[in-house]
Amino acid sequence: MRIDVVTLFPELVAGPLGTSIIGRAAQAGTVEYRVHDLREHGLGRHRSVDDYPYGGGAGMVMRPEPLFDALEPLRAAGAHVVLLDPAGERLTDALARELATIPHLALVCGRYEGIDERIRTLVDREVSIGDYVLTGGELPALVLLDAVVRLVPGVIAEASHKGDSFASGLLEHPQYTRPERFRDLEVPPVLLSGNHGEVDRWRRRESLRRTLERRPDLLDEAPLDDADRRVLEELRSGEA
């Protein structure tokens, strides 16, 4: 997989790409990252990339010429262009899994008050990481990149992300490690029992419990069977 990032601040992006799982993915050759400094396509002696908005208003708007110059070669190379924008579709686990199947992504980081609307003609998809505004698209691009790269085959063991929150439509169950007892807080005995069937049932129940308590909206779309529905009835009635 190849991921290009187009940004005015390459230093914000380049560092994290060399660390942790996403860094190891590059070292292994599973994923290739290329960071493009948009300023290299700026206009005039000062490499200008922005201008005042037509019609007036606060802030500056990113000009179309630099981004067209940066994106057209990437599109010609087969890139699926993703603009990080607060008005885009919400980044979800399902969307990250879809993007992980695309062999070449180009992530566009906006800045200032926004982008010239004509730039959107080069964009295949617009994505938002939440209902808030940041100073630029670099951090959202890294969030999206991290969410996608860990799902690329060969980056981490498939079993490691199959049980993730949202992967099954539910929040993940609680996790414990050693010691068995810490400051009067104990690991649930079922996890020490060695009974894998009981462990699986406990984890499913706790996943349902946590989702019901924290994100009940997810239950409307989650794939639930009759056993899950019985557990939810018990939890709602306070029987467990």
With the CA atoms of 173, 179, 182 and 184 taken in that order, what torsion angle do they form, in degrees rounded to the nearest 10?
80
Q: Which of 40, 98, 164, 180 is catalytic?
A: 164
Q: Which of 63, 150, 205, 209 is catalytic?
A: 150
Task: Look up 150 and say whether it is catalytic.
Answer: yes
Q: Which of 16, 53, 64, 86 is catalytic?
A: 86
The answer to whether 120 and 172 are in contact (CB under 8 A) is no
Which residues, 6+ apart, have CB-to-CB distance to 238 below 8 Å? none
Q: Is the dihedral of CA 14, 148, 72, 129 positive or negative?
A: negative
Q: The tokens of 34 are what? A: 């290329």
b/e map 219-234, b = 16+ CB within 10 Å: beebebeeebeebbee
Q: Which of 37, 113, 116, 172 is catalytic?
A: 113
Task: Look up 86 and say whether it is catalytic.
Answer: yes
Task: Look up 164 and say whether it is catalytic.
Answer: yes
How far is residue 61's CA from residue 112's CA, in Å, rounded to a whole number?
6
The 3-state DSSP class for residue 150 equals coil
Active site residue ranges: 86, 113, 150, 164
